[in-house]
Amino acid sequence: MNLRQAIGDARFAITVEVAPPKGTDVTEVLNASRMLAPHVHALNVTDNQSSVMKLSSLGFSIRLMQEGLNPVFQVTCRDRNRIGLQGDLLAAASFGIDTVLALTGDHPRMGDHPEAKPVYDIDVIGLLETIRMLNQGRDLSGNELESGPADFFPGASVTPSPANMDAQLFKMERKVKAGARFFQTQAVFDVPVFAEFMKRARDFGVPVMAGIILLKNAGMAKFMNANIPGVTVPKGIINELKDTDKKDRRAKSVEIGARIVGEVKDLVQGVHMMPLGWDKEAVAVLEQAGIGLQ
């Protein structure tokens, strides 16, 4: 069962993020994907995440399809104009990839090619509208697709930032209206704040999957607080990590992740794991939280 079906059946959806390598050898990430696949409905393939140049999202999504796994093809507006975006979407569809996560994309300044010229010809709302057009059998200029309507299942992201909640909800609503069928959120750590956000996001009637990042140590938490917009790791969690022996950190990290999953699972319609390399631990979180594929 893939993500589209899980959401269609109103099941508790589970995804995990996998990142293509900086290079041409995908063995390792394929192995990880195989290990993760039984525990999730789909594997999100990141698109030059944080503007760090990697093997393309489309390419690796195709590899997953070829392996019989379920990719979520992440597409950002940073690196392609409307022509490139449509072409890649059609390419994905030709490989049977239908689940797409439409993203604005981090600015190149954040990544390893900070001098690159960003594209942003259209933005994420435009991308969602483009997908809607393709699903109606036309390209953005209104030309008919020779193959008839496409059948994409688009999702989008949202940052449940308390400081910018109004702006984020404004954007989320626009994404819903532009056709987003599910949301994966930025990492959640502060559950009460997230609950506030969900109170309002719930009204859109679109499934929301809470983003879960495993904190490897207190330093990482502090770094995220300082550098990742919209992410706030509460002091309590940081202290918890700080007070834990190095050898027990993984267990602690899993414990915290599982606790958050446990606390948010009734607020949302799914979880989206972002293990950043701790794939086994991501699985452990799901197990400890008692979440499995339904």
Partner 1 sequence: MIVGQQKSLDDIWRMIAPFSRVLVVGCNECMAAAHAGGEAEVAELASALRIRARNEGRELEVFEFTPKRLCEPEYVAEVLAEVARCKADLVLSLACGVGVNSVADQAADLFVLPAVDTLFMGTGAEHGVWLEYCAGCGECVLEYTGGLCPVARCSKGLMAGPCGGTRDDGSCEVSPDVPCVWKLILERATRLGTRERLLEMPLFKNWSKSSSGSPRRLVREDLRIPTEDCKEGDTR
Binding site for partner 1 (CB under 8 A): 77-78, 82, 104-107, 109-110, 118, 120-126, 129, 140, 157-159, 161-164, 166-168, 170-171, 174, 186, 229-230, 232
**Which residue type is seen at 276?**
L
Q: Are strands 153-158 and 183-187 parallel, antiparallel or unpaired?
A: parallel
Q: How far is the CB of 164 from partner 1 (least distance, A)?
A: 5
List, as one string, the DSSP characters of 217-257.
SHHHHHHHHHHSTT----HHHHHHHHTS-GGGHHHHHHHHH
Please state, in angstroms and rounded to a whole number, the distance separating the CA atoms of residues 214 and 92: 30
Q: How far is the CB of 177 from partner 1 (least distance, A)?
A: 9
Please state, in angstroms and rounded to a whole number, the distance separating the CA atoms of residues 161 and 278: 25
Contact between residue 99 and residue 69 where contact means Cβ atoms under 8 Å apart = no
Q: How far is the CB of 131 from partner 1 (least distance, A)?
A: 13
Of the pair 185, 253, the CB lying nearest partner 1 is at 185
Q: How far is the CB of 211 from partner 1 (least distance, A)?
A: 11
Of the pair 35, 110, the CB lying nearest partner 1 is at 110
Please state, in angstroms and rounded to a whole number, the distance separating the CA atoms of residues 207 and 198: 11
Of the pair 56, 164, the CB lying nearest partner 1 is at 164
Of the pair 63, 160, the CB lying nearest partner 1 is at 160
Residue 46, both tokens: 């990141």
Distances (CA, A) of 101 to 77, 84, 90, 234: 11, 16, 15, 28
Of the pair 162, 262, the CB lying nearest partner 1 is at 162
Q: How far is the CB of 293 from partner 1 (least distance, A)?
A: 28
Of the pair 10, 163, the CB lying nearest partner 1 is at 163
Determine whether 75 is exposed, middle or buried from the number of CB atoms within 10 Å of its CB (0-12, 13-18, 19+). Answer: buried
Of the pair 91, 169, the CB lying nearest partner 1 is at 169
Please state, in angstroms and rounded to a whole number, the distance separating the CA atoms of residues 159 and 194: 10
Sign of the CA dihedral 266, 268, 274, 280?
positive
Of the pair 125, 213, the CB lying nearest partner 1 is at 125
Q: How far is the CB of 120 from partner 1 (least distance, A)?
A: 5
- SS3 per-residue string spanning 51-118: HCCCCCHHHHHHHHHHCCCCEEEEEECCCCCHHHHHHHHHHHHHCCCCEEEEECCCCHHHCCCCCCCC
Q: How far is the CB of 101 from partner 1 (least distance, A)?
A: 13
Q: How far is the CB of 44 from partner 1 (least distance, A)?
A: 15
